[in-house]
Amino acid sequence: MIIGPSLNTDLNPYDKDEQDLEIFYGLPRKVQFCKICNMSNQQPMSSNEYAHSHSSTKNTLTFNEEGVCHACSFNKLKESGEIDWDERERELLDLCDRFRREDGSYDCIVGGSGGKDSAMQSHLLKYKYGMHPLTVTWSPHLYTDIGWKNFQNWLHVGGFDNFLYTPNGKIHRLLTRNATINLLHPFQPFILGQKTFVAKMAAQLGIPLIFYGEMPGEYGEKISHKVSSYSSDSESGDGAGFSLDYISGKDIRDVYLGGKLIGEYLEDGVQLADLKSYLPMDSEILRKKGIDFKYLGYYKRWVPQEAYYYAVENTGFEANPVRTEGTYSKYNSLDDKVDGFFYFTRWIKFGVGRAMMDSAQEIRNHHISKEEGIALMRRYEGEYPARYEKEFLEYISMTQEEFLELCDRFRSPHLWKIEYGQWKLRHTPWGDIK
């Protein structure tokens, strides 16, 4: 599908000299691609979503003087011998020994959908390390057939107990529509809900240990490889973990959901009880209950393709029979019909699409070469996710015309230009458009 500017889009901002082009979201003016994995320096890093409004700026992936991104530097470190993986495994055995319960109750919790990562994590913990994990799932709203099947196989073939939580569908739809209109981020409500749900379940059920998958340095967050916990409360110092205190003393009415203040939702008649599942837990409760968040990827070397093979073998995981739109892969992020639009909108905002994400990761793990990555991007990057378009647009109550016009409003002029009536990125890993 060829996408040109919408009729109502003002084209003047896109028709200026390079140094005068406006920049959205505080992105770096000079677009740079990693010498090793092709990843763009426009790639945003995690930020506090509860403060995310239309005017927020982004932190982005950092590069060293040699033009290598932090994700690549981090991955090199994993292979350099700097990390003693045998020692790390002993640390994991110790951790498990400290937390393992033999009284029939759960001793750890793994959140996920039954995708390759959560499947491998939970399976290793239960069947290799003798833990008793509970698995918990925050439901996608538009389950794909393959996503539902993998979820079921995880429990029935893999052998796990699970809580599946489905939040109020009307509210989720409202938040998804707002997050799309205000932030061009249709996945934000899902991400917020999923992230906080695991901690809430751990606190409610008295489960002291939460496992996450890969370390955040793997995708370029500036968090040291020596940090095993998600929370900065557990380990402090340089490159420590994330803060759990998202609200930081703010009045709840001043917190954003979908780019709109909670105070405004309440004035519109939405009940606070209906928004609660999207809000973070009081970090004080987590502290008091002594709940810790550990990355399994700190203890065991994390290779996404190996997680895939592991899940196929042990939990009945199946790759998609059809190629995922916007990329070449068949086993990443398959559960929700909104997934494709999550990646497509990131491509609009940051010029980073799904093929770039997938290929950069596979280059770092030596499965494909830099040149193969470029060939795959030239073929698939930015492909419009047409397969579930109808359901997605119905879900957010928009026509295709309205959605594409909205996308235009999020195209930063320093990234995009129009060539022969078509939107084109000014800069790509295979060259620039003058």
Question: Which of 6/32 has CB closer to Zn ion?
Answer: 32
Helix axes 145-156, 116-123, angle to 10 degrees: 0
Nearer to Zn ion, 30 or 434 (CB): 30
Segment interacting with Zn ion, rule: CB under 5 A, options 27-35, 151-159, 261-269, 290-298? 27-35
Q: How does DSSP classify residue 231?
A: B
374 binding Zn ion? (CB under 5 A):
no
Candidate segments 36-44, 202-210, 242-250, 319-327, binder of Zn ion by CB under 5 A: 36-44
Amino acid at 43: Q
- Of 21 and 39, nearer to Zn ion (C-beta) is 39
Residue reference for tokens 């959560």: 118
Q: Are strands 209-212 and 108-111 parallel, antiparallel or unpaired?
A: parallel
Judge whether 174 and 268 are in contact, CB under 8 Å: no
Smallest gap from Cβ 377 to Zn ion, in A, equals 14
| Minimum separation from the CB atom of position 359 to Zn ion (A) | 11
Burial bucket for residue 392 (CB in 10 Å: 0-12, 13-18, 19+): buried
Considering the complex, state which of residue 39 and residue 181 has its C-beta at the smaller distance from Zn ion.
Answer: 39
Name the minimum Å distance from CB 46 to Zn ion. 17
Q: Six-digit token pair at 281?
A: 């837990």
Torsion of CA 99, 122, 142, 381, to 10 degrees: 120
Is 23 in a helix, a strand, or coil? coil
Point out which span in 45-53, 71-79, 184-192, 279-287 binds Zn ion (CB under 5 A). Answer: 71-79
DSSP-derived 3-state class of residue 309: helix
- Residues 76-86 as b/e (b if ≥16 CB within 10 A, e otherwise) read eebeeeeeeee
DSSP-H helix ranges across 100-168: 116-123, 145-156
CB of 363 to Zn ion, least distance (A): 8
- Report the nearest approach of Zn ion to the CB of residue 71 (Å): 5
Q: Which one, 39 or 198, has the nearer CB to Zn ion?
A: 39
| Whether the Cβ atoms of residue 278 and residue 189 lie closer than 8 Å to each other | yes
Three-state helix/strand/coil letters over 207-225 = CCEEEECCCHHHHCCCCCC
The answer to the question of residue 61 lying near Zn ion (CB under 5 A) is: no
Which among 29-37, 146-154, 281-289, 323-331 is the span making contact with Zn ion, rule CB under 5 A? 29-37
Strand (E) or helix (H) holding 201: helix 188-205
Least distance in angstroms from the C-beta of 156 to Zn ion: 39
Q: Which stretch binds Zn ion (CB under 5 A): 18-26, 34-42, 275-283, 419-427?
A: 34-42
Binding mask 131-160 for Zn ion (x = CB under 5 A): ------------------------------
Q: Pairing relation of β-strands 416-419 and 422-425? A: antiparallel
State the minimum distance, in angstroms, from the CB of residue 152 to Zn ion. Answer: 36
Closest CA to 195 of 155, 242, 152: 242
Binds Zn ion by CB under 5 A, chosen from 27, 37, 109, 120: 37
Q: How far is the CB of 45 from Zn ion (least distance, A)?
A: 14
| Site stretch for Zn ion (CB under 5 A), options 35-43, 195-203, 294-302, 387-395 | 35-43
Residue 36 interacting with Zn ion (CB under 5 A) = yes
72 is a contact residue toward Zn ion (CB under 5 A): yes
Task: Tell me whether residue 41 or residue 228 sits nearer to Zn ion (CB atom).
Answer: 41
Q: Say if strands 427-428 and 431-432 run parallel, antiparallel, or are unpaired.
A: antiparallel
**Chosen residue from 21, 69, 175, 199 binding Zn ion by CB under 5 A:** 69
What residues from 177 to 196 belong to the interface with Zn ion (CB under 5 A)?
Answer: none
Q: Of these, 21, 27, 31, 34, which contacts Zn ion (CB under 5 A)?
A: 34
Contacts of 365 (CB under 8 A, 6+ apart): 75, 303, 304, 305
Number of residues that bind Zn ion (CB under 5 A): 6
> Residue 407: CA atoms inside 13 Å, Cβ hemisphere, count?
26
State in angstroms the smallest separation of the CB of 34 from Zn ion: 3
Residue 40 or 329 having the CB closest to Zn ion: 40
Interface residues with Zn ion (CB under 5 A)? 34, 36-37, 39, 69, 72
